[in-house]
Chains A and B, each alone.
Chain A
């Protein structure tokens, strides 16, 4: 292994950390990039180093997994260049990675690229969902976990899946009055049967523990219910909620009640963030209930040679599988760089493959029971904003359809839907589903809103300072960026 170009890993959540650990252990040179201040991603995010946080005596299973992963990364951190507070603006199929950090930017020519950019919460538009005080459950959970601040006084939590429960408990812990958890789906994942059936998956135990805690906290959970409308002048003040038809999740209008709440946490599952795999022209496929996912072989390689996709950014599988997928990709990428032999790669990855297989059925089941059903779309009225950035209403989309728009791209051209700062992340999942339902088309016919570089904001000053890095021994261009030091005590 001479002056090889590096393996570039984008995203330092469990998937990217797993990849970096294995690639470094195999002796390959690698660069791990994340927009955040510290590695950890959404689940294992570290506290600000300015804060002194008293570690709890009893760590949850999730905290234990995170601690172990951080320790493993720390062990090999002298072998990895870790660039935090650094955004990747684009990735191209010739394996160029463009990044920026404050007023510096550059292009790295990579030998292999591992994309591990995670997921974001599925948007479900309904009246009032743009009011301040309405947040995603994941956003609320990590906000209180890392900032130790109450995001509101009285909260209602709605959506689907286990993250609702752990967020409710966290809010309760810090003294927020949690009125209820509204689960749009049926009790399947929250029943003792579920735990009995899947008890060998440690994530099932996390769910059971969270449910028990919810009960002890006296927080009611209503199944087949959700938020219909959030009311308030400048901020969320009250919430109107009601029952859903269990079959198709259509709102049952005559069941509504209104309660006062200044914090509404919404979580309808996750959508893979595929903007970089799209830019790299990797092939994607539509997975009912999840959305667009990246097509990969068993080693996590995409249709583009030398480009891998792992974790929730490729397909929603949760933190545990994300880590194993990352490890497998890290090993294979190291083999592709000739750091290790094929037989060695097989041996190193064996246990990660078997962990994935043992988890797969469980994850598939959980995805099935918590995937949104199209009746929810009826929560939006004509006046509801469906594109938050460009302020496009459902009636604008309907008008575009009447004028002949038959796919997302033409709706975009007629209405500006998806042309704002978030690049369509907060409108295309719901409006894609809407077009499919309304026009009786498939997701492939309805298409997608294509991302454009830069996928993250960058200043002109930073672009003016751009440098090109061709091999991992050429350090000067990103030495300006804060590298390393995250594990100092």
Chain B
């Protein structure tokens, strides 16, 4: 598992769901059931979700409510998936999205 020096989770007052592993850009990352994908990544110190089409600039979660599409990543081979509205699952395959992203057939 990726050893990140960061774990920004707060454990006071809450017991999280089951600990699981998700795959982020090829590396295994710790997550807990009940977390959104964006939350699991933030907890791990990763706030960048994608780079833009025209200027290749970096973006991350902005509205948190599914409205702005800044948090989109490619999840299980489907690009443009809003990570603030998608919840983690064991073995979920997440990729930082470049531009429009690519649909992949497995």
Please list the residues of chain A having a beta carbon within 8 angstroms of any beta carbon in chain B. 35-37, 42, 47-54, 56, 120-121, 130-136, 138-140, 142-144, 147-151, 174-175, 234-235, 273, 388-391, 420-422, 425-426, 456-457, 459
CB of B43 within 8 A of CB of A132, answer no
CA distance A108 to B68 in the complex (A): 27
Chain A: minimal CB distance from B61 (Å) = 6
Task: Find out whether the CB atom of B13 lies under 8 angstroms from the CB atom of A235.
Answer: no
Q: Nearest-CB distance from B43 to chain A (Å)?
A: 5
Q: Nearest chain B CB to A126's CB is how many angstroms away?
A: 14
A142 touches B57 (CB 8 A): no
Q: Is the CB of A422 within 8 A of B67?
A: yes
Query: A121 and B63: CB pair below 8 A?
Result: yes
List 24 contacting pairs A-B, 8 Å CB cutoff, sorted by A.
A35-B85, A50-B32, A51-B16, A53-B13, A54-B14, A120-B65, A132-B58, A132-B60, A134-B62, A135-B62, A135-B63, A136-B63, A138-B63, A139-B62, A149-B9, A150-B8, A151-B8, A235-B47, A389-B69, A421-B69, A421-B80, A422-B67, A425-B68, A426-B68
The residue of chain B having its C-beta at the shortest distance from the C-beta of A236 within the complex is B47
Q: How many A-B residue pairs have CB under 8 A?
A: 134
Task: Tell me if B18 counts as interface (CB < 8 A to partner A).
Answer: yes
Task: Let me know if B63 and A139 touch, CB within 8 A.
Answer: yes
Instruction: Report, nearest first, the 10 A-B pairs whose CB atoms are least far apart.
Output: A139-B64, A50-B17, A132-B60, A50-B34, A48-B34, A421-B69, A147-B39, A150-B8, A52-B15, A50-B33
Tell me if B28 is interfacial: C-beta within 8 Å of chain A: no
Query: Are B65 and A138 in touch, CB under 8 angstroms?
Result: yes
Q: Do A391 and B54 touch across chains, with their CB atoms under 8 A apart?
A: yes
Q: Given A149-B10, A388-B70, A391-B53, A51 and B64 touching (CB < 8 A)? A: no
Q: Which of B53, B55, B60 has the most CB of A within 10 A?
A: B60
B17: which A residues are within 8 A, CB to CB?
48, 50-51
* Residues of chain A within 8 A of B57, CB atoms compared: 130, 391
By beta carbon, the residue of chain A nearest B53 is: A391
> Chain A: which residue is nearest B64 at the CB level?
A139
User: Are A235 and B60 closer than 8 Å at their CB atoms?
Assistant: yes
CB-CB under 8 A from A151, the residues of chain B are 8, 42, 47
Q: Decide: A150 and B52 in contact? CB cutoff 8 A.
A: no
Which residues on the B side are within 8 Å of A133 (C-beta)? 47, 60
Task: List the A residue with the shortest CB-CB distance to B78.
Answer: A459
Check A135/B78 contact, CB under 8 A, given A147-B35, A391-B52: no
Whether the Cβ atoms of B36 and A147 lie closer than 8 Å is yes
Nearest Cβ in chain A — how far from B16, in angstroms?
A: 6
Tell me which of A174, A425, A457 has the highest count of chain B C-beta atoms within 10 A of its own C-beta: A457
Q: How far is the CB of A232 from chain B (nearest CB, A)?
A: 10
Instruction: Select one of A48, A132, A175 contacting B59, CB under 8 A.
Output: A132
Query: Do B64 and A136 touch across chains, with their CB atoms under 8 A apart?
Result: yes
In the bound complex, what is the Cα–Cα distance between A234 and B15 (angstroms)? Answer: 33
Minimum CB distance partner of A130 in chain B: B59
Q: Chain B interface: which size bin?
A: 35 or more
Taking Cβ atoms with an 8 Å cutoff, the residues of B that contact A are 8-11, 13-18, 32-36, 39, 42-43, 47-49, 52-55, 57-70, 72, 78, 80, 82, 84-85, 87
How far apart are the CA atoms of A459 and B78 in the complex, in Å? 9
Q: How far is the CB of A136 from chain B (nearest CB, A)?
A: 5
Contact A425 B39 (CB under 8 A): no
CB atoms of B60 and A149 under 8 A apart: no
Inter-chain contacts of A56 with B (CB < 8 A): 13
Residue of B nearest to A54 (CB): B13
Compute how far the CA of A133 lies from the CA of B49 in the bound complex, rounded to whole angstroms: 11
CA A313 to CA B68, docked complex, whole Å = 16
Give complex CA distance A418, B63 in Å.
Answer: 17
A48 CA / B39 CA spacing, docked (Å): 12
Please determine whether B64 and A138 come into contact, CB atoms closer than 8 angstroms.
Answer: yes
A140→B70 contact, CB < 8 A: no
Contacts A49-B34, A149-B43, A235-B47 given; indicate if A425 touches B16 (C-beta within 8 A): no
Name the residue on B nearest A262 (C-beta). Answer: B47
Q: Is the CB of B39 within 8 A of A143?
A: yes
CB neighbours of A143 from chain B (8 A): 39, 42, 61, 64
Complex alpha-carbon distance, A151 and B62, angstroms: 11
Across-interface contacts of A52 in B (CB, < 8 A): 14-15
- B11: which A residues are within 8 A, CB to CB? 148
Verify B67–A175 contact, CB threshold 8 A.
Answer: no
Cα–Cα, bound, A47→B16 (Å): 10
Residues in B whose Cβ lies below 8 Å from that of A388: 59, 62, 68, 70
Name which residue of chain B comes closest to A420, CB basis. Answer: B69
Contact across chains for A51 and B68 when beta carbons are under 8 A apart: no
Residues of chain A within 8 A of B65, CB atoms compared: 42, 120, 138-139, 142
- Asked if B63 and A234 sit within 8 Å, CB to CB, the answer is no
**A134: chain B residues within 8 A (beta carbon):** 62
Task: Please measure, in the bound complex, the distance between the C-alpha atom of A408 and the C-alpha atom of B57, giving whole angstroms.
Answer: 25
Asked, given contacts A132-B48, A132-B59, A234-B58, whether A142 binds B64 with beta carbons under 8 Å apart, the answer is: yes
What B residues does A48 contact at CB under 8 A? 17, 33-35, 87
- Tell which of A144, A390, A425 touches B67, judged by Cβ atoms closer than 8 Å: A425
* CA gap between A73 and B73 in the complex, in Å: 35
Known: A130-B57, A130-B59. A135 touches B9 (CB 8 A): no
A461 CB to closest chain B CB (Å) equals 10
C-alpha spacing A351/B11, complex, angstroms: 42
Residue of B nearest to A35 (CB): B66
Q: Tell which of A50, A130, A136 touches B16, judged by Cβ atoms closer than 8 Å.
A: A50
Say yes or no: A235-B85 contact (C-beta < 8 A), given A138-B65, A139-B63: no
